[in-house]
A and B are shown apart, each in its own frame.
Chain A
Amino acid sequence: MQISETSKRILADLLRSQTGQDFPPNRRWRVGTALSGLCREHGIANLDSLIAKLGMSQRSAQAHTLVEALLNNETYFFRDRAMFDLLAGRVLPDLAEARASTKSVRIWSVGCSSGQEALSLAMLFAEQESRWAGWTIDIVGTDVSTSVVEAARSACYTQFQIQRGLAVGQMVKWFEETPQGWRAKEKLRRMVRFEKHNLLDPPPNPAHFDIVLCRNVLLYFDDVTRARAFERLAAVLAPDGWLLLGAGETSLGQSDRIVPDRDLRGFHRLATSARAQRTADLPRRAAG
């Protein structure tokens, strides 16, 4: 379905004002598919009429439904398993040592969609039960979309969602059958909470995080907004914390404060932390 230049401008303005996201040409091809459900719901045959009807008032609830329909909520359990393997095998053991005195770990899943990433993280902790016994694990998932945050809070998944990326052994162990779908068990639910939030706004509590996952979010921002987002992320990251970006995303050339980790692909550190690490390595290298 074609849309007029006026409609494209309305959508671009709505997306930017409500989410900070950009609406470049390469994102416009899926507008017809994304809005077809709303067309049916409102009994409107063409996109221009729908956009004119719903998008007239920037702050109306109807405009918000238009924006929600445009958002890409693609997610699944353990998306990019190699990254989760590195978290479980390399990062969490380091973190357990570094936080042994406080026994507290704080993680932020930015753009959490319906919560599969946050629950995948919770499973990593639950599966290392002896290491984390007595610890406070606080995983906060945030998203700009109200509907996916509500879905994440329910912790219920359809048959289609539950078997995407999740091993059957984990499904049997960590989920239960309910009339509403496959629901995460209490042990996982206790570790996660979800809030509607925009990355460009002041951060959610506790405002400082040991690990931040911000995967496939920054790609929707233009360069200026992405630089602001990196500043936000740098401000909340613990000095020895990790930032995880999506496959194909990097801080290189976009942030002076956050740099790729030398050893762990896809992981990033504060530049100050990376410099400290290099300095600490020098005597070892000289000795070796």
Chain B
Amino acid sequence: MKTCLIVDDSSMIRKFLRTSLESLDFAVREATNGQEAIARCEESMPDVIVLDWHMPVMTGIEFVKLLRQGGHADQPKVVFCSTENDLDHIRTAIEAGADEYVMKPFDRETLHMKLQLVGVA
């Protein structure tokens, strides 16, 4: 079973993502900001991280930069999931190390397709 870490400060989004990901046979863990996500990754690196942009304490961009600089051998796939839906933000996320980008709002099928594109579903 593949593992996914959801990083989002909105409990509603986390709930939707958890339901969607569990229906796709992922074992799911959650974090509410980038700093918590680092702690979850230190415990165990997931196969994929679904990551929000704007969060208190540490943003998604700050987190993914740290993750990619960390030099972990088992780098997870990172799928950004954000309301920042313009090209500049999307380019910034890719340059920071994101593998895919989902623009909110989205549905379960779109999320599934993006997970297939990064090779985890």
Contacts and interface: CB of A to CB of B under 8 A. Distances in A.
A164 interface: yes
A81 B102 CA distance: 19
14 contacts: A76-B113, A160-B106, A160-B107, A163-B103, A163-B114, A164-B110, A165-B113, A168-B90, A168-B98, A168-B100, A172-B94, A176-B87, A177-B86, A177-B87
A167 interface: yes
Contacts, number: 34
B117 interface: yes
Contacts of A176: 87
Interface residues of B, number: 19
B22 to A, nearest CB: 22
A169 interface: yes
Nearest 5 CB-CB pairs, A to B?
A: A168-B101, A167-B117, A159-B103, A168-B100, A177-B87
Interface of A: 76, 81, 159-160, 163-165, 167-169, 171-172, 176-177
A164 B94 contact: no
Nearest to B116: A81
B112 to A, nearest CB: 10
B110 A172 contact: no
A170 to B, nearest CB: 10
B87 A172 contact: yes
Given A165-B113, A167-B117, A159 B94 contact: no
B2 interface: no
Contacts of B106: 160, 163
A168 B100 CA distance: 6
B53 to A, nearest CB: 14
A71 to B, nearest CB: 20
Given A159-B85, A160-B110, A165-B113, A172 B100 contact: no
Contacts of A169: 94
B109 interface: yes
A163 B102 contact: yes
A81 B101 CA distance: 18
A76 B90 CA distance: 21
B91 A172 contact: yes
